[in-house]
A and B are shown apart, each in its own frame.
Chain A
Amino acid sequence: QQQVKQSPQSLIVQKGGISIINCAYENTAFDYFPWYQQFPGKGPALLIAIRPDVSEKKEGRFTISFNKSAKQFSLHIMDSQPGDSATYFCAASLPEGFQKLVFGTGTRLLVSP
């Protein structure tokens, strides 16, 4: 119940295209859903996050879509650029004091020029 399932494992998108990464969860008590971007050899960087009372959040070219009834959320990268090539992780946390993050297994995105 604490798992977050992420797909696809890898993704190749042409420059200018839309990259879509999906995550699903079981525990309806999760109340915070961040996405992290990680470049090789670096620490993850917080990209965008959403709470379950919002169905969509947009920051620049990055959008989170949230479907509470389906227990799914997704990251959309519009106008994908070669510089977006990285590994993306979704995560979820419970409303507990220490805010434990449960991570998906990651999606390696390659944007071809």
Chain B
Amino acid sequence: DGGITQSPKYLFRKEGQNVTLSCEQNLNHDAMYWYRQDPGQGLRLIYYSQIVNDFQKGDIAEGYSVSREKKESFPLTVTSAQKNPTAFYLCASRTSGRNEQFFGPGTRLTVL
């Protein structure tokens, strides 16, 4: 099956811990994105990557880090510097030359 997978589905973090969210796609898409979704708000862009080994900050990158070592993988690390990390995190991807972004199923992160 082609698509975008995110793991884990649910993640619990203690304050002061770093956690890494996984995003994998087998669509051969070049661009990948991380969004954060909070209740009553639209999706906000955290980081994006257009090609391997290159990524750019989005609107709310503080407290987050990413890597893009492989075309199909774009993991997001939520660091202890992120003051309010409880949210629903969504990964998306897009092929070059097309506008359509396709989303994964999401990871819900809760800070205990």
Residues of chain A having any CB pair with chain B under 8 Å? 4, 6, 9, 32, 34, 36, 41-46, 49, 89, 91, 93, 97-106
Contact = CB atoms under 8 A, between A and B. Distances in A.
Interface residues of B, number: 24
Interface in B59-111: 90, 94, 99-106, 108
B42 interface: yes
B56 interface: yes
Contact of B105 (A9, A32, A43, A100): A43
Contacts, number: 58
In the A-B complex, list the 6 residue pairs whose CB atoms are closest, starting with the nearest. Answer: A103-B42, A43-B103, A32-B99, A103-B43, A43-B105, A43-B106
Given A42-B105, A98-B56, A49 B99 contact: yes
A105 to B, nearest CB: 5
A34, A36, A43, A101 interface centre (most CB from chain B within 10 Å): A43
A34 B42 CA distance: 14
Interface in B20-51: 31, 40-45, 48, 50
Nearest to A4: B42
A106 B37 CA distance: 11
Contacts of A93: 99
A98 B48 contact: yes
A78 to B, nearest CB: 23
21 contacts: A32-B99, A43-B6, A43-B90, A43-B105, A44-B43, A44-B103, A45-B103, A46-B101, A89-B42, A93-B99, A97-B50, A98-B48, A98-B56, A99-B31, A99-B99, A99-B101, A100-B45, A101-B43, A103-B42, A105-B41, A105-B42
